[in-house]
Amino acid sequence: METNAVRDYLLGLQERIVGAFEALDGKRFLRDEWTRAEGGGGVSRLLEEGNLLERGGVGFSHVTGRSLPPSASAHRPGIAGRPWEAMGVSLVFHPRNPYVPTVHMNVRFFHSAPAAGEKGDEGPVWWFGGGMDLTPYYPFDEDCVHFHRPNRDALAPFPGLHDRFRKACDAYFFLKHRNEPRGIGGTFFDDFSEGGFESSFAVMRAVGDAFLPAYAPIVERRRGIAHGERERAFQSYRRGRYVEFNLVWDRGTLFGLQSGGRTESILMSLPPVVTWRYDWKPAPGTPEARLAEALLPPRDWANL
């Protein structure tokens, strides 16, 4: 199993995305290399108070552990307590302009093998996961369609996966306590090992490579739209939903915190300015009310 090839791809993907958004923003990303006492480390790239990005983080991590906690292996209890390694690239961009959507992308690999001399029902276990999703504040149909089509086209060589991953994304990025989607979806997959290592790795690369063509054109199209305090206030309010999802439902955040991950790197996905308002609802017919129309019901944007 060529785990070094996975690591090399992930590091290259991080550099490509950082380079593209340094060019778009005009400011440089901070580089923070770190190590983890239990094993492994990573590179966090962060840009705050930029021209385009109010906060943007692109993190690479390759971490190892001697004993996988049961809370992090609930779906595969047979590997609890075993040595493990996980690597991935995860990003969240919170743009300054409310007309530019927030975006999240993650691609990752997990591997666990029995310790020397260990007896058990499961041999080596590995899988890939990842995806991306878009969270607009003031949605434009053409942007929603554009974001989904590179995801669809990237997965075209793998029949059936786009429709499956799209539906999984809609189901995953859903705030159950509010009964509403976080955004307009994208793709999502986890525990994926179909077709063997090389085929599964190709799926992960296809998703990772689709990020820039899916998101960058939307950024360039919307970044110059004039806005004021009203739009910024609504953006800040809706960012609260982002925080709620990450801290209550997101499996990656929970795994990172439960497995002793680096808190600064895990939580750099959170937006810098957020507000909550008690039982607030936009007035019918306003641009803010349009968001609910875009979010519900979920739809197959790529094929509209």
Any idea what DSSP says for residue 190?
E
> With 0-12 CB in 10 A as exposed, 13-18 as middle and 19+ as buried, what is 64?
middle
State yes or no: is 104 an active-site residue. Answer: yes
Counting the structural domains of the chain, the total is 1
Structure-model confidence comparison of residues 13 and 250, the more confident one: 13
In whole numbers, what is the pLDDT of the chain averaged over residues?
A: 92
C-beta neighbour count of 172 within 10 angstroms: 19
Q: What's residue 251's pLDDT?
A: 83
Q: Which of 212, 234, 217, 210 is nearest to 97 (CA)?
A: 234
Res 186: pLDDT: 98
The per-residue pLDDT for 75 is 61
CA dihedral in degrees (174, 180, 182, 185; nearest 10)? 70
Tell me, what DSSP letter sits at residue 210? T
- Rounded-to-integer distance, Cα 64 and Cα 110, Å: 10
Q: Which of 93, 36, 76 is nearest to 211 (CA)?
A: 93
**What is the pTM assigned to this prediction?**
0.93
* Mean per-residue pLDDT, 207-223: 98
Alpha helices in the chain (DSSP H): 3-25, 141-154, 161-172, 197-209, 211-222, 229-248, 251-258, 263-266, 290-295
In this structure, are residues 96 and 76 in contact, taking their beta carbons and an 8 Å threshold?
Answer: no
Residue 266 to residue 262: CA distance in whole angstroms? 6
- In CATH, what number is assigned to the domain containing residue 110? 3.40.1500.10
| pLDDT class of 262 with cuts at 50, 70, 90 | confident
Residue 289 CA, chain-centre distance (Å), reads: 26
Tell me phi and psi for residue 254, to 5 degrees: -65, -40
Task: Give residue 94's pLDDT.
Answer: 98
Task: Please state the separation of Cα 205 from the chain's center in Å.
Answer: 14
Of the candidates 9, 169, 184, 182, which has an alpha carbon nearest to the alpha carbon of residue 87? Answer: 9
Quick one: pLDDT at residue 123? Answer: 73
Spatial neighbors of 272 by CB under 8 A, at least 6 apart, are: 48, 54, 55, 94
Task: Quickly count helices (H) and strands (E) in the chain.
Answer: 9, 9
Higher pLDDT, 96 or 75: 96
The answer to whether 256 and 264 have CB atoms below 8 angstroms apart is no
| Count of C-beta atoms within a 10 Å radius of residue 302 | 20
Residue-wise pLDDT for 35-76, tens only, equals 988 899 999 999 999 999 999 999 999 998 887 766 555 566
Instruction: Give residue 205's domain range.
Output: 3-303
Q: What is the CA radius of gyration of the chain?
A: 19
What pLDDT sits at residue 115? 66
DSSP class of residue 289 equals T
Q: Per the residue annotation, which of 104, 146, 148, 162 is the catalytic one?
A: 104
Coil, strand or helix at 45: strand
Helix (H, G, I), strand (E, B) or coil at 128: strand
pLDDT tens profile 236-249: 999 999 999 999 99
Whether 121 shows a pLDDT value over 60: the answer reads: no
The model's pLDDT over 122-155, given as tens digits with 9 standing for 90+, comes to 678 899 999 999 999 999 999 999 999 999 999 9
The separation between the first and the last C-alpha atoms of the chain, rounded to the nearest angstrom, is 40
